Amino acid sequence: MAAARLESVPDRFFGELPGLPEASAWVSRQEAAQAGVHRPTVGGISGTRLEGADSICVNGGYEDDQDFGDEIIYTGAGGNDPNTGKQVADQDLDQPGNASLVTSELEGLPIRVLRGSRGDPMYSPTSGFRYDGLYRVAEHWSEIGKSGYRIWRYRLVRLSEQEAAPYVPEPNLPPGTKAPKRTRGVATRVVRTTAVAESIKRLYEYSCQVCGAHLEVPGGTIAEVAHVRGLGRPHNGPDVPENVLCLCPNHHALLDAGGIYVNDDFAVHNHTGAQIGALTRHPSHQIDLEHLRYHRALWGQP
Amino acid sequence: MAAARLESVPDRFFGELPGLPEASAWVSRQEAAQAGVHRPTVGGISGTRLEGADSICVNGGYEDDQDFGDEIIYTGAGGNDPNTGKQVADQDLDQPGNASLVTSELEGLPIRVLRGSRGDPMYSPTSGFRYDGLYRVAEHWSEIGKSGYRIWRYRLVRLSEQEAAPYVPEPNLPPGTKAPKRTRGVATRVVRTTAVAESIKRLYEYSCQVCGAHLEVPGGTIAEVAHVRGLGRPHNGPDVPENVLCLCPNHHALLDAGGIYVNDDFAVHNHTGAQIGALTRHPSHQIDLEHLRYHRALWGQP
């Protein structure tokens, strides 16, 4: 059992800093670090696996980064030549900054984004560094980057005004009069339900294809349909029976975060490679092996 | 295994009907039924446990209903005297309409709301019936109503413009030129993460207090913290260690929907009353029995 005491709340600060609203600007990383907006003076990610990430810096240090303004495809840390931004080695998801962004996704933590002048000119300041508001990690995956090495990618999306509200201090408070509220995150899991999803749930009678769990509640049954290859950008998987599985919430969450994967023979493995079972399949439900392969590739599995 | 074929999509229609935008009005239930906005001519809920509910009618037929405009505390069907609106018997969650609203909550289905002139004067038409847009079921629970009988209550909240968009047909289409898209729902599970939640997760090392599940993924661990007595209206439970449990997503979803409950001796039971285990407890984590009792009362458990 953990030794942690209930009082041991992490003191990493999540959310907007009092007195430092969006568009606050600094001439150097050092000044931004002193202000607390992004504490590391070199690293792009401020965080640990245990606490999650409270801020990132986007400043052109990674050749695979893509900036769309309200959405950022951010590259994990490590394996790059800091001078050229080119990858020269594989990245590791256990690197503390990379793992911190996974924790932020799982916990729904708000992340401050600091943009520097070396980033995409469309969305970056012309000089120095600028605080650009709060984002969350919507998903992450791996792929082989431009230079041929495995990189981890995080899709960050800007919080809507409503989502950001709990993390933005009340305006017009005299600075320092009130300790900032240690609000943490609001994680939102969006479960899409489509006609395809409904028909697959019925086919399996709302039982999990991995573990057989059948979660009955008064008046209904809990089951989820997972898209093996995700819908929408960047995966663009189809909403067809061949691309979905009927799962319990646990195995859905595990599949989406790379905690399990399915081989071509429908054996189910955990992320360390150990086989944990075999997928239950209905004769009229064809699963497309290409989608299973796509999912395995995302998580660097064979 | 279910006999359902993949093509057997339900033909109950979810979402706004083409040509019938918000504020469309009818003089009688019969006319509204013919238009398809709410098909039953007497019942308040249109739906089945399997398909979910596609519409409800709010018209003063139940003394415990509460209308706040964008939020409605809706009473389940049954047990009332249709002339006075008074409850004269307990309600049953297995009643098809009541179960359909549970399915709508679990699946995130959009529900058309039809208001009649006998409802709350603040939000109801002065005569006849009016279509008032799309809502979703945010939660449900039971309590003893004004007349002393068990009623089921559903908190419906109006979909935001963004949430409603997939279910509202494109404007200016000539009526009948295009079959309405059979979009279903988008269920959003909001998992609040607070400092209290984080400390409890660490105390239990991210393992479920019901089943011991420890859901490791590359870079992180999946665990959720459930509030036994819910936060916010109408339960107003506190965000304190005494009111939370560290659970896997499956047992969190089950707890929230009344699929499991915890006795004063920390035995865990499923909704049929069978004991399925005992809650793992850390010596420094005091759980308030009053919150367990509040939760049991919500689900009509002893």
The reply to whether residue A93 touches residue B218, judged by beta carbons under 8 angstroms, is yes
Could you tell me the pTM of the whole model? 0.80
Which residue is associated with the tokens 């005569």? B127
- Least confident stretch, A26-35, A133-142, B5-14, B268-277: B5-14
Task: Give the bridge partners for A267, in sequence order.
Answer: A278
The confidence band for A125, taking pLDDT boundaries of 50, 70 and 90, is: very high
Bigger pLDDT: A9 vs A43: A43
Chains A, B: CB contacts under 8 A, how many? 209
Residue B127 confidence (pLDDT): 96
Give tens-digit pLDDT for A51-84.
899 999 999 988 889 999 999 999 999 998 878 8
Superfamily the domain B25-167 falls into:
SRA-YDG (2.30.280.10)
- Are the C-beta atoms of residues B149 and B88 closer than 8 Å to each other? yes
Lowest-confidence segment of A52-56, A150-154, A188-192, B114-118 by average pLDDT: A188-192
Measured distance CA(B103)–CA(B137) in Å, rounded: 9
B61-94, pLDDT tens digit by residue?
888 899 999 999 999 999 988 788 788 999 999 9
* DSSP states of B108-164: T--EEEEEETTS-TTTS-SSSEEEEEEEEEEEEEEEE-TTSSEEEEEEEEEPPHHHH
Which of A49, A154, A202 to probe by mutation at the B interface, max B CB count within 10 Å? A202
Find residues 249-278 of chain A whose CB sits inside 8 Å of chain B. Answer: 249-250, 252-254, 257-259, 270-271
pLDDT band of residue B199 (cuts 50, 70, 90) is confident
Tell if the CB–CB gap between A194 and B184 is shorter than 8 Å: yes
Q: Which of the residue ranges A252-256, B179-183, B285-289 would you say has the lowest mean pLDDT?
A: B179-183
What mean pLDDT comes out for the span A154-171? 83
A187, A198, A270 member nearest B193 (Cβ): A187
Q: Read off the pLDDT of each residue in B142-150 and give the average, rounded to a whole number.
A: 91
Taking CA atoms, B74 is separated from A16, B30, B51, B69, in Å, by: 38, 22, 19, 12
pLDDT in tens, A245-284: 999 999 999 999 999 999 999 999 999 999 999 999 999 9
Cross-chain CB nearest to B193 (options A108, A191, A213): A108
Distance from CA of B23 to the nearest CA of A (A): 27
Question: Does the beta-carbon distance from A184 to B195 stay under 8 Å?
Answer: yes
> CB of B248 within 8 Å of any CB in chain A?
yes
The answer on pLDDT for A285 being more than 50 is yes
pLDDT at B194: 67
Please judge whether A8 and B202 are an interchain contact, meaning their C-beta atoms are less than 8 angstroms apart.
yes
Q: Residue A141, exposed/middle/buried by CB under 10 A (0-12, 13-18, 19+)?
A: buried
Cα separation of B103 and B101, whole Å?
A: 5
Say whether pLDDT at B176 is over 70.
Answer: no
Residue A128 CB neighbour total at 10 angstroms: 15
Residues shown for chain B: 302
Lowest-confidence range among B46-50, B127-131, B172-176?
B172-176
**Side chain identity at residue A123, one-letter code:** Y
Please measure the distance between the N-terminal and C-terminal CA atoms of chain B and give it in whole angstroms: 34
The answer to whether A157 faces chain B, any CB pair under 8 Å, is no
If one counts every other C-beta atom within 10 angstroms of the C-beta of residue B247, the result is 26
Which of B51, B159, B183, B198 is most worth mutating to test chain A (most A CB atoms within 10 A of its CB)? B198
pLDDT for B170 equals 63
* Interface contact B219-A1, CB threshold 8 A: no
Tell me which of A125-129, A181-185, B42-46, B297-301 is least confident. A181-185
- Distance between terminal CA atoms of chain A? 34
Sequence ranges of the domains in chain A: 25-167, 195-298
CA distance A283 to B174: 42
Q: How far is B271 from chain A (nearest CA, A)?
A: 7
Q: What pLDDT was estimated at residue A170?
A: 64
Of residues A102, A184, A193, nearest to B194 (C-beta): A184
Q: Determine, for residues A106 and B220 on separate chains, whether the beta-carbon distance falls below 8 Å.
A: yes
pLDDT at B161 over 50: yes
With CA atoms as reference, the chain B residue closest to A199 would be: B6
Give the three-state DSSP class for A203. helix
What is the radius of gyration, based on Cα positions, of chain A? 21
Provide the pLDDT confidence category of residue A171 given band limits of 50, 70 and 90. low
What are the b/e assignments for B70-101, b being 16+ CB within 10 Å? Answer: eebebbbbbbbeeeebbbeebbbbebbbbbbb
Helices B249-256 and A249-256, interaxial angle, to 10°?
A: 140
Whether pLDDT at A85 is above 70: yes
Retrieve residue B117's tokens: 């002139």
The total number of residues written for chain A in this structure = 302
Cβ neighbours of A276 in B, within 8 Å: none
CA atoms within 13 A on the CB side of B76: 30
With beta carbons under 8 A apart, name residues in chain B contacting A193: 107-109, 184-187
**Whether B102 and A217 lie within 8 Å, measured CB to CB:** yes
- In whole numbers, what is the pLDDT of chain A averaged over residues? 87
Contact residues, B window 60-119, toward A, CB-based 8 Å cutoff: 93-94, 98-99, 101-103, 105-109
User: Strands (DSSP E) along chain A, which ranges?
Assistant: 25-26, 45-48, 52-58, 66-67, 71-75, 111-116, 129-144, 150-158, 186-192, 215-217, 220-222, 224-227, 244-247, 260-262, 267-270, 275-278
Average pLDDT over residues A222-227: 92
Query: Is the Cβ pair A184, B198 closer than 8 Å?
Result: yes
Nearest-Cα distance to chain B for A7, in Å, is 7
Greater model confidence, B29 or A5: B29
CA distance B185 to B108: 5
Collapse the DSSP code of A121 into the 3-class scheme (helix H, G, I; strand E, B; otherwise coil) and give the result. Answer: coil
Verify whether the Cβ–Cβ distance B282 to A108 is below 8 Å: no
User: Helices (DSSP H) in B192-242: which residue ranges?
Assistant: 195-203
Beta carbons of A49 and A97 less than 8 angstroms apart:
no
pLDDT, average across residues B92-116: 93
∠ Cα A52 A57 A60 (to 5°): 135
Element (H, E) at A270: strand A267-270
CA A186 to chain centre: 13
Nearest-angstrom CA–CA distance, A2 and B84: 58
The answer on pLDDT for B182 being more than 70 is no
